C-alpha cells in the first residue's frame, strides 16, 4: 500500500485526492456537489473522483489501502453512515456501502471537522503532538479532538461538537435550537451580527463606512480590520469576541488538557492579531497557573485538510 483516497464532501463541491501515507496529495480532482440530487448520484460522483485521482497519478487500486470520506453533519463511523447532514438533505445515508459498489476497498466516514483535525495532527500544525484540538472558526465553530493520534468523538459520535457547548445560559439563539452556544459568540456569524448592531447605532462609524453604509456587506473581516485600525467600537466587539473564545478554550483545556490548539477557518486569517489577543486572554484566566497548558497556533493545511484527513481515517484500524 502506497496511498489512500481522501474525499472531502462539501455542500458546494466534492474534492478528492490520492494521498501518500505521510499526508502528501499526489493527484486531485473535484466536481460540484449539486445537493438535492438522489444520494446515489452524489456518492457515485465521489467514487468516480476517487477512481480518477488514482488513474491521474499513474497508480492502480492495488496501490490503495482504503477510501476515507469527510462529510458535514453527524456520522456513524462504525457503520459508515452519515446520520444527518442538513445542507445535503441527507438522513441515514449508507456512504461506505454505496462507494464500495464502485471501489472494492474499506471505506471510512467521519465528520468534516474531525477529519480536518486528524489532518493537522498527522501532517499539519499538530503533527509533533499526540493530543490536539482543531477549531474551525467560520459560519459556525467546529472542532476536531485528537487523542493519542486518533479522532475522539465520544460514544455516539457527537463528542466533538464544541461549537454547541453552552457558554451563556439563555444567551443568543443558535441555529441548533438552543441558546447561548459557544459558536453564537465566537463564529464569523457572531462578529457580523455585532458589527451590524454597531453600524446601525453609529452609521458614521468605521464599520458602516467600510461598507459604504450597506450593512449587508459587513463581514467578519470588516470588523477585524476596523479593530486592527483602532476603531473603539470594533475594538470592543473584538475584545468581547476574544473573551468568549478564551473561555471556551479554557473549558477545553480543563476537560481534555491537549498539548496544542490549531485554529482554522475564515476568522483565523486574522493571524497574529487574533493569536496574540487570544493567548493573552487565556493566560489571564487559565485555572492552572503553575503547569503548562496547550499552545495556540494557526492551522497549516487550509482547504487541503479535508482531503488529507479523510485519507488518514483508516490509521490504526
Q: What is the pLDDT of residue 236?
A: 98
| Domain match, 192 and 204 both | yes
- The pLDDT value recorded for residue 1 is 76
Residue 168 included in any domain: yes
Do residues 82 and 140 share a domain?
A: no
Asked if residue 244 and residue 274 are part of one domain, the reply reads yes
Print pLDDT tens along the chain (317 aa). 799 999 999 989 999 999 999 999 999 999 999 999 999 999 999 999 999 999 999 999 999 999 999 999 899 999 999 999 888 999 999 999 999 999 999 999 999 999 999 999 999 999 999 999 999 999 899 999 999 999 998 998 888 999 999 999 999 999 889 999 999 999 999 999 999 999 999 999 999 999 999 999 999 999 999 999 999 999 999 999 999 999 999 999 999 999 999 999 999 999 999 999 999 999 999 988 889 999 999 999 999 999 999 999 999 77
Neighbours of 181 (CB within 10 A): 26
> What pLDDT, on the 0 to 100 scale, is given for residue 192?
97
Same domain, 143 and 19: no
Instruction: Say what the pLDDT of residue 147 is.
Output: 96
Q: Residue 294: what pLDDT?
A: 96
- 194 within a domain of the structure (yes/no): yes
Strands 13-20 and 3-9: antiparallel
> What residue numbers bound the domain in which 97 lies?
3-111+118-123+303-311
Residues 102 and 22 reside in one and the same domain: yes
The predicted structure's pLDDT at residue 288: 84
Note whether 145 and 285 are same-domain residues: yes
- When divided into structural domains, the chain yields a total of 2
Statement to judge: residues 161 and 97 lie in one domain = no
* 317 located within any domain: no
Predicted TM-score (pTM) of this structure: 0.91
Angle ∠(76,78,84) on CA atoms, nearest 5:
10
Domain assignment present for 316: no
In a shared domain, residues 272 and 149: yes
CATH label of the domain that carries residue 218: 3.30.420.40
Amino acid at each position: 500500500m502506497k496511498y489512500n483516497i481522501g474525499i472531502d464532501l462539501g455542500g458546494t463541491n466534492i474534492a478528492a485526492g490520492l494521498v501518500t501515507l505521510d499526508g502528501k496529495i499526489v493527484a486531485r480532482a473535484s466536481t460540484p456537489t449539486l445537493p438535492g440530487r438522489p444520494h446515489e448520484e452524489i456518492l457515485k460522483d465521489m467514487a468516480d473522483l476517487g477512481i480518477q485521482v488514482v488513474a491521474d497519478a499513474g497508480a492502480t487500486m492495488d496501490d490503495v489501502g482504503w477510501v476515507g470520506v469527510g462529510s458535514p453533519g453527524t456520522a456513524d463511523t462504525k457503520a459508515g453512515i452519515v446520520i444527518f447532514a442538513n445542507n445535503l438533505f441527507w438522513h441515514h445515508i449508507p456512504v461506505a456501502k454505496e462507494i464500495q459498489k464502485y471501489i472494492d476497498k474499506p471505506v471510512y466516514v467521519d465528520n468534516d471537522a474531525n477529519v480536518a483535525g486528524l489532518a493537522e495532527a498527522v501532517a499539519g500544525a499538530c503533527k509533533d503532538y499526540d493530543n490536539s484540538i482543531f477549531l474551525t472558526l467560520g459560519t459556525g465553530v467546529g472542532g476536531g479532538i485528537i487523542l493519542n493520534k486518533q479522532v475522539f468523538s465520544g460514544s455516539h459520535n457527537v463528542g466533538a461538537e464544541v461549537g454547541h457547548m453552552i457558554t451563556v445560559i439563555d444567551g443568543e439563539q443558535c441555529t441548533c435550537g438552543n441558546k447561548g452556544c459557544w459558536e453564537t459568540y465566537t463564529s464569523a456569524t457572531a462578529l457580523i451580527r455585532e458589527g451590524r448592531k454597531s453600524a446601525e447605532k453609529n452609521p458614521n462609524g468605521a464599520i458602516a463606512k467600510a461598507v459604504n453604509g450597506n450593512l449587508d456587506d459587513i463581514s467578519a473581516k470588516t470588523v477585524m480590520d476596523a479593530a486592527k485600525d483602532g476603531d473603539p467600537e470594533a475594538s470592543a466587539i473584538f475584545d468581547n469576541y476574544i473573551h468568549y473564545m478564551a473561555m471556551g478554550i479554557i473549558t477545553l483545556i480543563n476537560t481534555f488538557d491537549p498539548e496544542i490548539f490549531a485554529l482554522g477557518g475564515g476568522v483565523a486569517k486574522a493571524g497574529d492579531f487574533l493569536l496574540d489577543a487570544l493567548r493573552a486572554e487565556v493566560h489571564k484566566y487559565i485555572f492552572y497557573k503553575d503547569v503548562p497548558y496547550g499552545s495556540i497556533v494557526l492551522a497549516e493545511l487550509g482547504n487541503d485538510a479535508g482531503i488529507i484527513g479523510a485519507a488518514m481515517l483508516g490509521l490504526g484500524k
